[in-house]
Chain A
Amino acid sequence: MKTLEELMALRDAAKAKMTARDDSTALTRVVVGMATCGIAAGARPVLNKFTEEIEKRNLTGVTVAQTGCIGMCQYEPIVEVTAPGKEKVTYVLMTPEKAAKVVVDHLVNGNPVVEYTVGALKK
Chain B
Amino acid sequence: MRELSLNVLDVAQNSVSADASEIEIEVSRDTAARTLRIGIYDNGKGMTEEQVRAVRDPFYTTRTTRKVGLGVPLFKMAAEMTGGSLEIESAVGVGTKVRAFFHTDHVDFVPLGDMANTVVTLAAMNEAIRFVYRYAVDGRAFTFDTQEIRAILGDVPMNDPAIMNWMTAYINENSQAITEVQ
Q: How large is the interface on B (under 10, 10 to 19, 20 to 34, 35 or more residues)?
A: 35 or more
- Which residues of A36-59 have CB atoms within 8 Å of chain B's CB atoms? 36-37, 39-40, 44, 47-48, 51-52, 54-55
Q: Mark B155-181, 1 if CB is under 8 A from A, else 0.
A: 011011111111001100110010000
| Chain B residues closer than 8 Å to A47, beta-carbon distance | 121
CA distance A40 to B2 in the complex (A): 8
Report if A55-B66 is in contact (Cβ < 8 Å); known contacts: A40-B1, A40-B6. no
Check: B22 CB closer than 8 A to any chain A CB: no
Q: Assign chain A's interface to a size class.
A: 35 or more
* Cβ distance A38 to chain B, nearest Cβ, rounded Å: 9
**Looking at the complex, which of A65-73, A85-93, A94-102 is the stretch in contact with chain B?**
A65-73
The answer to whether residues A6 and B166 also contact, given A11-B153, A11-B154, A63-B159 and a CB cut-off of 8 A, is yes
The docked-state distance in angstroms from the alpha carbon of A68 to that of B63 is 9
Cβ–Cβ contact A14 & B163, under 8 A: yes
The B contact surface, by secondary structure, is: helix
Report yes or no: A4 in contact with B152, Cβ–Cβ below 8 A. Answer: yes
On whether A7 and B166 interact (CB within 8 A), knowing A2-B173, A63-B159, A69-B65, the answer reads: yes
Is A36 a contact partner of B71 (Cβ separation < 8 A)? yes
User: Provided the pairs A2-B173, A14-B160, A14-B162 are in contact, do residues A36 and B69 lie with their beta carbons within 8 angstroms?
Assistant: yes
Contact across chains for B65 and A39 when beta carbons are under 8 A apart: no
Scan residues 32-91 of chain B and give those whose CB is less than 8 A from a CB of chain A. Answer: 63, 65-66, 69-71, 74
Given A2-B173, A11-B156, A14-B156, 4 other A-B contacts at CB below 8 A? A2-B169, A7-B170, A68-B65, A69-B65
Q: A34-B13, A44-B9, A48-B117 are in contact. Are A2 and B161 (CB under 8 A)?
A: no
Among residues of B, the one whose C-beta sits closest to the C-beta of A53 is B161
